[in-house]
Amino acid sequence: MRKKGTEVAKQPDPFMIDEENPEWTASDTAGARPFKTIFPAQYAALKKRGRPPVETPKVHIGFRLAAEVVAGIRAKGRGYNARVEKVLREAIAQGRL
């Protein structure tokens, strides 16, 4: 039986030991350089991922609306931003805004 407060040193799992990839030391970490400085071409390729840029991106604005107006818009379900945009576009086209 072990005394309370003493711990047994945990042995490394022999299946997890990888001789080709040893654990980093403090000196390894100190000498490390960023990925983008070592592989600039690969870093540039990574930056091109994601949604492509658009000619006229949407602009984020914020304004306050009455609670009942927001509740009525959201009550119709998902996609309420697109529905509000459609109503505003129609109002602009008809000269009401």
Q: What is the pLDDT of residue 3?
A: 63
Mean pLDDT of 83-94: 94
Asked if residue 1 has pLDDT above 70, the reply is no
- Structural domain of 96: 63-97
Residues 6 or more apart in contact with residue 74 via CB below 8 angstroms = 80
pLDDT (tens digit, 9 = 90+) per residue, 29-67? 999 999 999 999 988 888 777 788 889 999 999 989 999
On whether residue 88 sits in a domain, the answer given is yes
Mean pLDDT of 75-83: 92
Structural domains in the chain (count): 1
On whether residue 53 sits in a domain, the answer given is no
Q: How confident is the model at residue 82 (pLDDT cuts 50, 70, 90)?
A: very high
φ/ψ of 19, rounded to 5, equals -65, -30
On whether residue 82 sits in a domain, the answer given is yes
Cα first-last separation, the chain = 82
pTM over 0.85: no
On whether residue 10 sits in a domain, the answer given is no
Choice between 65 and 2, residue whose per-residue pLDDT is larger: 65
